[in-house]
Amino acid sequence: MENPNNASRRNFFKTGAALGASLMAAPAFSNLSTAKEQAPKENNGLPNFTKRRTLGSGKHSLEVSALGLGCMGMSYHRSFVPDRNRMIALLRKAAEMGVTLFDTAEVYGPYVNEELVGEALAPLRKDVLISSKFGFNIENGQMAGLNSKPDHIRSVVEQSLKRLRTDHIDLLYQHRVDPNVPIEDVAGTVKDLIAEGKVRRFGLSEASSENIRKAHAVQPVTALQSEYSLMWRKVEDDALKVCEELGIGFVPYSPLCRGYLTGLINERTKFIASNDNRATLPRYQPDAIVANWAMIDVLTEFGNHRGYTVAQVALAYLLAQKPWIVPIPGTTKQAHLQENLWSAEIEFTVDELKQLTEAVSKITVVGDRYTGQSAQQVKN
């Protein structure tokens, strides 16, 4: 029997032209400074994505596309490694379609993802924003513990700038909080890098409320990047409240739960352990995938009545929570990129959002999101 989620996804693409026609009335943009002044422009028959959001506040804010692009999976941690030239083309297509925020890190590969992003975006650098991260030792091509010592931060930034083929990083995150280095020292180091023009904005990832406050007091934080999806909503209880209080934007990574919330992963899906962390994560084991299918059923039912795919409903839910939330779903396929971007056009009614929230809140998600050292690193 055909998987109804696959059918829903195909129906989305069949009706894409009709949906696209309704979107083309929105103004397109070619760069950050003239976005609102440009006339509509076609992109090989596809509408340009124009929705904008602001991360951070005041002079530390950053205007970005409503969805960014997580680039990690183009070269790391997603089993297969796609053809490099095709990923360069996809990155450039994303920028052409209106994405302005591209997310990478030195540990993705390591190094090769920054090199990929740097090569792809070099011709478009003035029109896009690049975020990267520091915070790990890398030995023999593997992560080898946390390291946010000031000298190490500076060294990482210098090397990242070379790989990214740029003279500045628009948004620099501490990848994980290092309990052995005071967060004030980390923030102070990034503050100095901002003063030197090598970094534009400061971000944290998976940081506790206490550490967010401490860092923000030294160098205002523009964005917190942490895991957030309908499969992991704990940030709604704490992190989002602190961000709202301090005027900090929020960037959900894995907003589709590493592909699960597309409805295309099932208990027979194979993950290649040598290049895919899902192979060892409890939530992606066959029993957990089956146990959590109630979430896919809810999103499918909700989306089918409104012409949305599972992935679109999942992303639209996050976007509906706060106007300063900017998810960064990753993909290696242009069709899925377009599908994800169209989720920003979805506007739930109050009753629809209430209905969806109540339905997903009844589901108990099975399986931890991390284990071992990785689990400890997201508690700092």
**Residues with a known catalytic role:** 108
**Could you give the 3-state DSSP secondary structure of residue 363?**
coil
The three state secondary structure string of the chain is CCCHHHHHHHHHHHCHHHHHHHHCCCCCCCCCCCHHHCCCCCECCECCCCCEEEECCHHHCEEEECCCEECHHHCCCCCCCCCHHHHHHHHHHHHHHCCCEEECCCCCCCCHHHHHHHHHHHHHHHHCEEEEEECEEEECCEEEEECCCHHHHHHHHHHHHHHHCCCCEEEEEECCCCCCCCHHHHHHHHHHHHHCCCEEEEEEECCCHHHHHHHHHHCCCCEEEEECECCECHHHCCHHHHHHHHCCEEEEECCCCCCHHHCCCCCCCCCCHHHCHHHCCHHHCHHHHHHCHHHHHHHHHHHHCCCCCHHHHHHHHHHHHCCCECCCCECCCHHHHHHHHHHHHCCCCHHHHHHHHHHHHCCCCCCCCCCHHHHHHCCC
